[in-house]
Amino acid sequence: TEDEFITYLNKWYYWATHSRLEPIIKAAKTVKRHWDGVVQWYKSKINNGILEGLNSVIQAAKSKARGYKTFKNYKIIVYLLTGKLDFSLVNPRFREI
C-alpha cells in the first residue's frame, strides 16, 4: 500500500542519512528533494521514459534542421520524424523500401 511504501521510504531515508558513505547521503538528499514525485511514481507507476525518447527524436530533428531558415521548417522535420506517417498512400513503392 501507499502507506507501507512511505513508511519504508522514511526508514530508508533515515538509514541513508545516517550512513557514513557520502554517495548514499547525497542520494538520500536527492530523494528528499523529489519526495512527492517518488511517492507519485509509486501510486501511478508512470515514468517519463516515453517523453525522454520523444525528446531524443526531437533533438535529432534539431540537428537535421540546422541550416533551415525558419522555425516552420524545423517543425516540419519534427512532424516527419515523430508523426509515424504512412507514405505508402502517396508512394505505393514505399513499402518496399
pLDDT value at residue 34: 87
pLDDT digits (tens, 9 = 90+) for 48-92: 777 788 788 778 777 776 766 777 877 777 777 777 777 777 776
Assigned C-alpha cell, 87: 507514405
Mark whether 26 and 59 lie in a shared domain. Answer: no
- Residue 33: other Cβ atoms inside 10 A: 10
Q: Examine the pLDDT at 21 and tell me if it is beyond 60.
A: yes
Calpha distance 28→20 (Å, rounded): 12
pLDDT digits (tens, 9 = 90+) for 25-35: 998 998 898 88
Looking at the structure of the chain, the number of domains it has is 2
Q: Which domain holds residue 72?
A: 49-96
Mark whether 58 and 39 lie in a shared domain. Answer: no
